[in-house]
Structure 1
Amino acid sequence: MDTTLLDLLRKVDTPTVCNAIEVVQGKRGFDRFTRGTMVCSAPGEAMVGYARTARIAALAPPTEAPDVIRTRRMAYYRYMSEGPRPGVAVVEDLDGAAAIGAYWGEINTTIHKGFGLSGALTNGVMRDLGDLPEGFPVVAGSIGPSHGFVHVRDLDCEVRIFGLSVRPGELIHADRHGALVIPEGVVGGLRAGIESLLATEKIVLDPARADGFDFAAFEAAWAAFEKART
């Protein structure tokens, strides 16, 4: 990925990226984003990277032999340590709304950050708030105290997070608002799309923040705003 685009994506929030994708596509209707309210360990940070995917479960003990579980766990960590960078760990908790296993705590987030990943996206649970490493935001389904019987079920597979299907290698942007998949076809125009969007929004935002803003000022600003968008 172009480093200029990468730096820009790290600075803007996910709603901005969502809108910019529609700017590049020239239409509304982009729908590859999460649904519902998620929680974020670092509200001021965004993550961007290529998805490294897996599935876990924790509500019940694993039924496979311990050596099978351990071998898969080590395969998982090897998989997360490899692949294109920047990367994002995208891990589906198969326990869904009943999830209790806080896979994302101080130790696991520190390991993943050490592997060079830029964050984690999950429908599951996180914990150890206040002890998670800086520069590795976690966007999760909930917060809880226990790891339960957490174990890896699958890796390098399609996963589903809050209504969003993610395939390995897809480009993710996520923050406290949720997450989205950036379509491959818009990447080339995304920098220009974001810059155009931000410039257009200033047409309304600057007058609205100024002293003396009234309906007449709004009407003029909105007319200029609509003209800039056509």
Structure 2
Amino acid sequence: MTPSLLTLLRKVDTPTVCNAIEVAQGKRGFDSFTRGTMLCSAPSEPAIVGYARTAKIAAVNPPSEPPEIIKERRMAYYKYMAEAPAPSVAVIEDLDYPDCIGAYWGEINTTVHKGFGMSGALTNGVMRDLGDLPDGFSVVAGSVGPSHGFVHVREIDTPVSVFGLRVNPGDLIHADRHGALVIPPDLIEQLEAAIQKLFATERIVLDAATQPGFDFDKFRQAWEEFERARV
């Protein structure tokens, strides 16, 4: 991923990237995105972009393993996140879903992950401390709640599932208030040009629709031009 592509991806929203992937593929049907409504801790901040560092947690019940095992895995988790190559995103599957209660993402944990240089977090689980989370580290989560429950790490560096999106360690993630997606690795080199092409073709209809005298005939003319430009 080039610096210019990273800058562009942080500026555009996830629906734009979703559409641009289909432009690059030359067809509809891209489906590596989350399903359902997710919540964003900072909807006005730039999009979360980075390579996935994955883990699984649980919080409804106390851990059944010995405390020293839980502590060792916790420290291994933080070491794994701290050593992530930039840009990186924490992608955490809460195994209690859809009955998640443990807010793993609060003021302390987000500040720690931001300190590691990570771009943000994606989870089907819970976040809290809204208003106290650090700037520059957004969380896209499944819900908001007050308690951390018995939250503990179960797995590190394994495939995870978040709102129907399958994420493997190292996948390139784009996420914002709309949800998240995985950018296909074979399209990364084409994506910047695809986004620019998408912008140019959309302007054909958007510019026409905002001009005085816009009517159905002008719409049909603009739409035909739009269809030709998309090919």
Interval of TM-score (by shorter of Structure 1 and Structure 2): over 0.9
Aligned residue number for residue 62 of structure 1: 63
Q: CA deviation at 1:43?
A: 1.0
In the superposition, the TM-score normalised over structure 1's length comes to 0.98
Q: What are the Cα deviations for residues 177-229 of structure 1, in whole angstroms up to 9, with x where unaligned?
A: 11100010000100000000011000001121233322122122111111111
Q: CA deviation at 1:60?
A: 0.5
Q: CA deviation at 1:12?
A: 0.4
Q: 3-state DSSP class of the match of 2:98?
A: helix
Once residues 103 and 69 of structure 1 are traced to their aligned partners in structure 2, the CA distance between those partners, rounded to angstroms, is 15
Q: 3-state DSSP class of the match of 1:97?
A: coil
Q: 1:1-230 maps to which residues of 2 (within 5 A)? A: 1-44=1-44, 45-230=46-231
Comparing 204-213 with 12-21, greater Cα deviation is found at: 204-213
Once residues 78 and 115 of structure 1 are traced to their aligned partners in structure 2, the CA distance between those partners, rounded to angstroms, is 10
Once residues 101 and 214 of structure 2 are traced to their aligned partners in structure 1, the CA distance between those partners, rounded to angstroms, is 50
Q: CA deviation at 1:27?
A: 1.1
Once residues 58 and 171 of structure 1 are traced to their aligned partners in structure 2, the CA distance between those partners, rounded to angstroms, is 27
Q: What are the Cα deviations for residues 1-24 of structure 1, in whole angstroms up to 9, with x where unaligned?
A: 200000000000001101111111
Q: 3-state DSSP class of the match of 1:117?
A: coil
Q: 3-state DSSP class of the match of 2:60?
A: coil
Unaligned runs of 5+ in 2: none
Q: Which amino acid aligns with 2:37?
A: T
Aligned length: 230
Unaligned runs of 5+ in 1: none
Comparing 162-171 with 41-50, greater Cα deviation is found at: 41-50
Once residues 211 and 6 of structure 1 are traced to their aligned partners in structure 2, the CA distance between those partners, rounded to angstroms, is 37
Once residues 74 and 126 of structure 1 are traced to their aligned partners in structure 2, the CA distance between those partners, rounded to angstroms, is 21
Q: Which amino acid aligns with 1:41?
A: S
Q: 3-state DSSP class of the match of 1:96?
A: coil
Once residues 165 and 216 of structure 1 are traced to their aligned partners in structure 2, the CA distance between those partners, rounded to angstroms, is 44
Q: Which amino acid aligns with 1:107?
A: I
Once residues 198 and 132 of structure 1 are traced to their aligned partners in structure 2, the CA distance between those partners, rounded to angstroms, is 33
Q: 3-state DSSP class of the match of 2:110?
A: helix
Show structure 1 runs of 4+ deviating over 6 A. Answer: none
* Same amino acid, percent of matched pairs: 71
